[in-house]
Amino acid sequence: MRPSATSDDDSTITRNFLKTVRKKDWPWDAVPEVYYDPRSLAPNSAERSALHAKCIVADDRCVFVTSANFTEAARERNIEAGLLLDNATITEALSCQFESLVHTGVLKRLFL
């Protein structure tokens, strides 16, 4: 998440990221819950983490896992792959995995 060659603090980076997302990538009224790994903001690139998979859980029943970013380029120009499953067992397992990461502080919520 940290832009290269910036010395901005974490709160400035996340605030700027959210402004961009709301303006360019998610202009709709219905806003999803979005989480990030604070390690992605590490100043030293060797210490940064990345979660490239994007996961959307809907109604505790369906899950969409994709390589695509939620950007205009991903929607309009890139070749991406994703899988939509209507399977409560898989959805529950994935939800539990992410809830565990949130509960232990590995992931933090961003408020769009």
State which amino acid sits at residue 55.
C
Q: Is residue 4 part of a domain?
A: no
Q: How far apart are CA 40 and CA 93, in angstroms?
A: 24
Task: For tokens 């919520």, name the residue.
Answer: 109
Q: What's the pLDDT tens digit per position in 42-95?
A: 888 888 887 777 888 888 889 999 888 777 787 788 888 899 999 999 999 999
Determine the structural domain holding residue 82 and report its residue range.
Answer: 10-42+50-110
Q: Is residue 1 part of a domain?
A: no
Q: Is residue 58 part of a domain?
A: yes
Q: Is residue 3 part of a domain?
A: no
Q: Is residue 19 part of a domain?
A: yes
Q: Is residue 101 part of a domain?
A: yes
What secondary structure does DSSP assign to 26-67, as a single string?
--SSS---EEE-GGGG-SSGGG------EEEEETTTEEEEES
Q: What's the pLDDT tens digit per position in 51-65?
A: 777 888 888 889 999
What's the predicted TM-score (pTM) here? 0.72
CA dihedral 23, 27, 31, 35 (to 10 degrees): -40
Q: Is residue 2 part of a domain?
A: no
| Structural domain count, the chain | 1
